[in-house]
Each structure stands twice: as structure tokens, then as C-alpha cells.
């Protein structure tokens, strides 16, 4: 994996774009100072094309049937800047505020997340729960739980008769957990990650609650779905996680997951077309690298091939006859990456430090790069749905 920016910043298109970018249908959003708001873009021959006259928002774009065909036929659309210039200006700490930069490739969509969809991360959630968020107990609990469970759950299909037998065994051993329930039970965990418009994009600082002492990145594939439940493309995401908060109580999930700048998505949504399909997403390998200002380096990977629930099943559990999303939704699919590499003290495992540079990479989706800070030190989120509507009306992009 390339190392965009390291801990010092400096982003380039070669580091960020998919390896086959010239064959990919990539859409995203920029913040354009010239219009005082966001603009949806298409990447074409190294240039960012303003597609706001095709659709004023990405939410509206994803509602178009045969959207890639529509984009292929779109002509006479203005170029805003080179993709190299946009990427180069996207590092929050060094950008020129008078030039455009990339932001999260979603707008009005609900931002949802599926939890406990991989065995490795499921076991870590059980450990957090049993430790009540106390990292000092994690290693002892990890040994005890894996001694009972091992790796035998990797082949268990959630909701199956085999899964029920496993549940009966674990109940008898006193090792059952609410995380195992959603991990191998019939119903997936689908929760709200953050409000629409709250996600940050490439180069933005990502936020940790200042009271958290045990946190980690969660590199994930993110599905982009329209209001009909059709997954039209995928991107990368960092479902920033506070292990101590959630470990204390599952009822603190909102505080563990939804803080200022705690949802990162990008760099672009890759739309499905003749050369890229849902099967590519199913086969994706996501690599993460963390570089600290203290010289600490951690690397890991997560393979979508090891997910316990198919991505389209997760999308179907999010939007169905009992729950609709009229503006579509973005869905984090979960991660198998649960870092246990000691950073500070033996047995503590990994936790973020302020200043960590986090790179999340997959060959056909590119690289999402961000830097860690405390949520109360990052600029407050202020441009919401109302501000977007006023901006689009002012630009005469709403009929």
C-alpha cells in the first residue's frame, strides 16, 4: 500500500486514485469557494467535471436509472479543476481555502452502519463488553473467550440452524453476548452512524471524543444506495470507534460512534458499470495503515470475502418494507479489522494518538486518508441540510 501524506500531509492523485482510475466511473463532491457550497463532480480524463446540471446532489444522481449511461452521454459540462489539484488541496491543515477541495461523496443520504459482520471484530466486541471498557482486562478475556469459541464461527451462516446450535453451546458455557446475537443471529445490527451531511472526506481531520482512552480506526466498504434500495456503487469509509465507551454499555453506542468528524467517507463513489460490479466489492481487500507522530506504525487488512452477511443482504436489512430512506443511504458494511498490537502498555493493544495519519486503501477504490484529532478541537460541523438547500436555491439548481 502506498503511504499518502504520511504524518506530515502532502496528497497526490497517484496515491489516492484507484489503480484503474482511467476505466472507473468515479463521482464525488467538492467544496467550491466560488459558489460557497458543495458541487457534485464526475472524474473524466483527469478532470473534475461539474455535474450539478445533471443532478444537484449525489442523492439525486443515484436516483437516475442507468446513471452511468446518463453520465457517459452528458456533454458540455464545465471542468472545475484537475483531480490532481483537488486532491493536492484536500489536506485540511495545508489547503488553500480559496481553491476547491474534495469532501465526502454523499449529501442527503442517511449514513448507516452494520456492526459485527466479521468473526474477528465480533470477538473483540464481546471482549469489550466483558471488560466493561477496561483495556486492562482485555487480554485475559480474549484468551478465555477464544478458548471457548476458537475460529469455529467463521463458517457459521447467521440465522441458520447451525448458528442456533452454536448459540445453545455458548449459552450453556455462560459465554453468550448481545454481539454474538447480531453476529450469528438472524437479524443484523444496523445503526445510524451520523446525520446526513455530517461525514468528512479525504484529507479532513477525523474526531475522537476527548474522554476516550481506547479507540481505533474501522476500515470498511461503504455501499451507496438509492431510495429504491438499489446499491449503485461503493466507496471506502472509516467508522471511527471508541472501544471504551461502547464497552461500558451498548447503550453508549451513539456516543461511541457519532461525534464531530467521526465518520469519514471517500475519496469517491465508484459506480457499478460494465467493468466494476457488486462482485468486485464482495472480493475487495481493504488495507489500513496508521502512522503516529511518535514513529508508531500499524498495518492490517480486512477481506470482504470473509464477511458473514452478503453486502446486499445488509442493504436489504437497512431498507425494506418496514423502513424506507427517500433520499437513499450510505451503509458501512463492518470490518474484520480489530487491532490488538500493543502501543502504550503490554496488554493494552492499540489506541489512537492525536496526530495519527490513517490510510485506508483498496486497489479499485483508491485511498481514504485522514488525520486524527479530538472532536472538540476540530472545526464544528455547521453546513447541514438547510444550508445546502439555501445554497442550491441561490445557485438556481433546484426547480
| Tens digit of each residue's pLDDT (9 = 90 or more) over 231-261 | 999 999 999 999 889 888 888 889 999 999 9
Q: Which residues contact 261 (CB under 8 A, 6 or more apart)?
A: 200, 204, 205, 206, 207, 373, 375, 378, 381
Which has the closest alpha carbon to 272: 336, 320, 307, 315?
315
Query: CA dist 5 to 205, 368, 371, Å?
Result: 13, 11, 9
Q: Please report how many Cα atoms fall inside a 13 Å half-sphere around the Cα of residue 5, on the Cβ side.
A: 33
Q: Decide: 332 and 220 in contact? Cβ < 8 Å.
A: yes
Helices 138-149 and 119-131, packing angle to 10 deg: 130
Q: Decide: 63 and 328 in contact? Cβ < 8 Å.
A: yes
| Matching residue, cell 465518520 | 263
pLDDT per residue of the chain (399 residues) written in tens, 0 to 9: 455 644 444 689 999 999 999 999 999 999 999 999 999 999 999 999 999 999 999 999 999 999 999 999 999 999 999 999 999 999 999 999 999 999 999 999 999 999 877 765 666 667 767 777 676 777 777 777 666 665 555 667 777 887 777 677 767 767 677 777 777 778 888 999 999 999 999 999 999 999 999 899 999 999 999 999 999 999 999 999 998 898 888 888 899 999 999 999 999 999 999 999 999 999 999 999 999 999 999 999 889 998 888 999 999 999 999 999 999 999 999 887 778 788 887 877 899 999 999 999 999 999 999 999 999 999 999 999 999 999 999 999 997
Q: What share of the chain is helix, strand, coil (3-state, %, to 5)?
A: 30, 25, 45
Largest Cα–Cα separation, the chain = 67
Determine the length of the chain.
399
Question: How far is residue 340's CA from residue 146's CA, in Å, rounded to a whole number?
Answer: 14
Task: Supply the pLDDT for residue 148.
Answer: 63
Q: Which residue segments constitute the domains of the chain, with CATH numbers given?
A: 13-116+188-394 (3.90.850.10), 119-184 (no CATH)
Give the Cβ contact number of residue 380 at 10 Å: 8
Cell numbers describing residue 166:
452454536
Task: Supply the pLDDT for residue 118.
Answer: 74
Which has the closest alpha carbon to 261: 182, 344, 354?
354
Question: How far is residue 147's CA from residue 380's CA, in Å, rounded to a whole number?
Answer: 45
pTM, full prediction: 0.89
Which has the closest alpha carbon to 367: 376, 357, 378?
357
Q: Please report how many Cα atoms fall inside a 13 Å half-sphere around the Cα of residue 49, on the Cβ side.
A: 18
Query: CA dist 260 to 28, 58, 101, 115, 159, Å?
Result: 21, 22, 20, 20, 35
Q: Decide: 28 and 41 in contact? Cβ < 8 Å.
A: yes
Amino acid at each position: 500500500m502506498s503511504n499518502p501524506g504520511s504524518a506530515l500531509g502532502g496528497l497526490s492523485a497517484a496515491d489516492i486514485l484507484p489503480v484503474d482510475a482511467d476505466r472507473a466511473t468515479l463521482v464525488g463532491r467538492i467544496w467550491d469557494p466560488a459558489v460557497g457550497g458543495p458541487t457534485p463532480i464526475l472524474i473524466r480524463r483527469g478532470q473534475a467535471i461539474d455535474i450539478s446540471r445533471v443532478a444537484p446532489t449525489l442523492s439525486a444522481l443515484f436516483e437516475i436509472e442507468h446513471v452511468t449511461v446518463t453520465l457517459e452521454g452528458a456533454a458540455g459540462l464545465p471542468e472545475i479543476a484537475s483531480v490532481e489539484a483537488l486532491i493536492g488541496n484536500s489536506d485540511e491543515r495545508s489547503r488553500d481555502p480559496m481553491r476547491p477541495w474534495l469532501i465526502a461523496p454523499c449529501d442527503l443520504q442517511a449514513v448507516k452502519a452494520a456492526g459485527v459482520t466479521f468473526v474477528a471484530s465480533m470477538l473483540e466486541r464481546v471482549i469489550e463488553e466483558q471488560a466493561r471498557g477496561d483495556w486492562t482486562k482485555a487480554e485475559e478475556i480474549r484468551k478465555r473467550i477464544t478458548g471457548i469459541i476458537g475460529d469455529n464461527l467463521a463458517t457459521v451462516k447467521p440465522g441458520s440452524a447451525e448458528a442456533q446450535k452454536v448459540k445453545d453451546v455458548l449459552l450453556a458455557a455462560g459465554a453468550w453476548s448481545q454481539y454474538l446475537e447480531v453476529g450469528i443471529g438472524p437479524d443484523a445490527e444496523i445503526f445510524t452512524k451520523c446525520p446526513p451531511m455530517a461525514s468528512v472526506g479525504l484529507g479532513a481531520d477525523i474526531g475522537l471524543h476527548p474522554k476516550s482512552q481506547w479507540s481505533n480506526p474501522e476500515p470498511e466498504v461503504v455501499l451507496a444506495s438509492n431510495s429504491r434500495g438499489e446499491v449503485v456503487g461503493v466507496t471506502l469509509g472509516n467508522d471511527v470507534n471508541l472501544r471504551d465507551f461502547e464497552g461500558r454499555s451498548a447503550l453508549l453506542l451513539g456516543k461511541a460512534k457519532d461525534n464531530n468528524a467521526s465518520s469519514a467517507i471517500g475519496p469517491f463513489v465508484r459506480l457499478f458499470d460494465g467493468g466494476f460490479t457488486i462482485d468486485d466489492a464482495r472480493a475487495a481487500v481493504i488495507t489500513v495503515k496508521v502512522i503516529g507522530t511518535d514513529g508508531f506504525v500499524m498495518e492490517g487488512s480486512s477481506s470482504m470475502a470473509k464477511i458473514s452477511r452478503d453486502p446486499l443482504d445488509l442493504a436489504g436489512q437497512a431498507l425494506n418494507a418496514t423502513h424506507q430512506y427517500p433520499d437513499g443511504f450510505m451503509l458501512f458494511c463492518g470490518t474484520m479489522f480489530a487491532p490488538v498490537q500493543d502501543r502504550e502498555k503490554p496488554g493494552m493493544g492499540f489506541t489512537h494518538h492525536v496526530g495519527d495519519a490513517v490510510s485506508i486503501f483498496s486497489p479499485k477504490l483508491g485511498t481514504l486518508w485522514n488525520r486524527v484529532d479530538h472532536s472538540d478541537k476540530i472545526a464544528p460541523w455547521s453546513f447541514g441540510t438547510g444550508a445546502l438547500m439555501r445554497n442550491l436555491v441561490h445557485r438556481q439548481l433546484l426547480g
